[in-house]
Amino acid sequence: KETIQKHATKRKTERKTAEKKIQKNNGTAKEQTQEIGERRQAARKTRSKPQPNKPVKGRRTLY
């Protein structure tokens, strides 16, 4: 049980130091995460191309 606790505290300290590094690099961590989100949205928009209006294969209706 003690080893698990040690690992958890180690992870917490690692996370804190990483956050400090981010804050030093450019702006606050919040700004950085917002930037990442915006980039993700832009990527998603470019990926999703409008699909042509055609029937789905295997779902043809009998006329």
Task: Please tell me the pTM assigned to this model.
Answer: 0.25
Residue 53 scores a pLDDT above 60:
yes
The single-letter code of the amino acid at 28 is: T
What is the Cα–Cα distance from 5 to 36, expressed in whole angstroms? 32
- DSSP designation for 27: S
Q: From residue 36, how far is each of 14, 22, 33, 43 by CA, in Å?
A: 21, 13, 5, 11
What is the Cα–Cα distance from 16 to 14, expressed in whole angstroms? 5
pLDDT in tens, 2-29: 555 566 666 667 776 666 665 565 556 6
φ, ψ at 33 (rounded to 5°): -65, -35
